[in-house]
A and B are shown apart, each in its own frame.
Chain A
Amino acid sequence: MRSDRELVKGTVRLLALRLLAREPMYGYQMIQHLEDRSEGYFQLGEGALYPLLHDLENERYLRAEWRDQEGRPKRRYYHVTAKGRRELARRKEQWEGFTRAVDLVLEASHV
């Protein structure tokens, strides 16, 4: 199933923070993880990911560092800062409240 663009846009910051809270990743790796874990639902525009990451970096939710790789160019890894973790918790709570409310309405509509 293809994703709804507007829906994805609103949740992608939450997803990015969640992914990076588990382990530091580079951009391409994030796209692959998102796609794999969502069973192909989230297919982000590749060029759109980096402005988002830079935005989060500017807001100090993320920090980036270049890491050496043997025989390959350096990669820029992102990891979540303490401020980012607080933001993640806030967004997660917001999202859970939102989905719970949507579920309640949808379940009520079935009756």
Chain B
Amino acid sequence: MCEIEQYLDQVRAQLEVSFHRANEIIAEARCHLEARARDLEAKGMGREQAEAEAVRGFGNPQTVAAELRKANARHRDADVFRLVVGIGLAFGTTLSAIGCFVFLLMRAPSSIQAALYAHIIWFPAFALPGAVLAGMVAGRRYWWLAATPPLLFMALCWGFSLAAWAFVPYRDAGTQLDVALVWPLLSAAAFAVCGYLGARAGEARRLRYPIGVLCAVYALGIAVPAFAQVVRNLFDLVMAMAVAEGVSYILLIAAYRDKLVGPRVLIAGGAGMTALVAAMAVAVLAGTWGLDTLYGEGRTAFIGPLLVVVYLYLPAQLVWLGWKGRKVSEAAQAVRGRPNRGA
């Protein structure tokens, strides 16, 4: 690694500001150091000597980082506020769908076991890569914030399971309660670890974007079998879509923090996703109710059209994520100061 990059890594490690702000500061410093090194080269110095001289002129990395940290203290607070608002919005998106989900369960209490299965298996499967992404967004100082939405959600499931155990008698209630009690604790640890690892990965230039993309791909990889379950359990479909939207929304927050989209897009994105998932839930409910009313055992009659919708929706979401990933990648390239290959 060249001397300028080594120097910038040392400064970055001590900045203790948000991910986005650190990117800006480092990009600015890199621009300065490279311009200085070019000037020195033009005066006849060798490349290595010019870099060493440019770095020396910039100052001691500890002192520079301390001054920059002091000057950017306000950004830390603002970023935490933005992060909390962003994650709150992301979680609100998921919760809105869960509200519809609970409503569905109230109409069909016999499906509680299936619903718990969906909560316990599918939600962590989606939320863990989400926690990694959120940790990357939050940075090392606030990595623990990444775990708050899934933890809150698990707490909701916990309460819901307790209520189910208390009020709805069914055969395996005891087992379900055990699971509901233990699982949130295990999840808490898993989410916290993922958030922390995400925060650390976010600091490493080489890891940041590949891991971000991997997390998104993994979440979608989980989404496909979840969608394939549609024939078996329509509630899983709504659940899976809700959580997939949550993960997508975390990407949108990352884009917002990289100034690729503005606050209006962020809010509109959250509202749009909530509306989409809610519409799906309502469609499932209305379809089930309507066909049952008309044809008795007619549940399977609308699965075909529903699958068409799902299979149209999935590629659309993949395209959207790909587009967003490309924008993030372009921004990263610009920050690193290398030309964009795809642009």
Do A48 and B31 contact each other (CB < 8 Å), given the known contacts A28-B36, A73-B337, A76-B24? no
- Cβ–Cβ < 8 Å partners of B67 in chain A: 47-48, 50-51
Query: A75–B31 Cα gap in the complex (Å)?
Result: 7
Indicate with 1 or 0, residue by residue over B250-269, a CB within 8 angstroms of chain A CB atoms: 00000000000000000000
Query: A83–B30 Cα gap in the complex (Å)?
Result: 29
Query: A71–B72 Cα gap in the complex (Å)?
Result: 30
- Cβ–Cβ < 8 Å partners of B34 in chain A: 73
- Cβ–Cβ < 8 Å partners of B279 in chain A: none
Query: A51–B70 Cα gap in the complex (Å)?
Result: 8
- Cβ–Cβ < 8 Å partners of B36 in chain A: 28, 46
- Cβ–Cβ < 8 Å partners of B32 in chain A: 26-28, 46, 50
Chain A: minimal CB distance from B14 (Å) = 13
The B-contacting residues of A in range 34-75, CB under 8 angstroms, are 45-48, 50-52, 54-55, 58, 66, 71-75
Query: A38–B34 Cα gap in the complex (Å)?
Result: 24
- Cβ–Cβ < 8 Å partners of A76 in chain B: 24, 27-28, 31
Q: Which of B31, B64, B335 has the most CB of A within 10 A?
A: B31
- Cβ–Cβ < 8 Å partners of A55 in chain B: 71
B25 contacts A73, C-beta separation under 8 Å: no
Interface size on A, residues (CB 8 A): 20
- Cβ–Cβ < 8 Å partners of B29 in chain A: 47, 50
Chain A: minimal CB distance from B334 (Å) = 5
Q: Which of A47, A50, A54, A76 has the most CB of B within 10 A?
A: A47
Q: Which residue on chain B has the smallest CB distance to residue A55?
A: B71
Query: A52–B34 Cα gap in the complex (Å)?
Result: 20
- Cβ–Cβ < 8 Å partners of B305 in chain A: none
Query: A66–B27 Cα gap in the complex (Å)?
Result: 10
Indicate with 1 or 0, residue by residue over A6-30, a CB within 8 angstroms of chain B CB atoms: 0000000000000000000011100
- Cβ–Cβ < 8 Å partners of A74 in chain B: 27, 31, 334-335, 337
Please give the residue numbers on chain B whose beta carbons come within 8 Å of chain A beta carbons, in ascending order.
24-25, 27-32, 34-36, 57-60, 63-64, 67-68, 70-72, 74-75, 334-339
> What are 25 of the A-B contact pairs (CB < 8 Å)?
A26-B31, A26-B32, A27-B28, A28-B31, A28-B32, A28-B35, A45-B59, A47-B29, A47-B64, A47-B67, A50-B25, A50-B68, A51-B70, A52-B71, A54-B25, A54-B68, A54-B71, A58-B71, A58-B74, A71-B339, A72-B337, A73-B27, A73-B338, A76-B27, A76-B31
Given contacts A47-B58, A47-B64, A75-B31, 9 further A-B contacts (CB under 8 A): A28-B31, A46-B32, A46-B36, A47-B67, A48-B59, A50-B71, A51-B64, A58-B72, A74-B31
Q: Which 3 A-B pairs have the closest CB atoms?
A: A73-B337, A47-B59, A47-B64
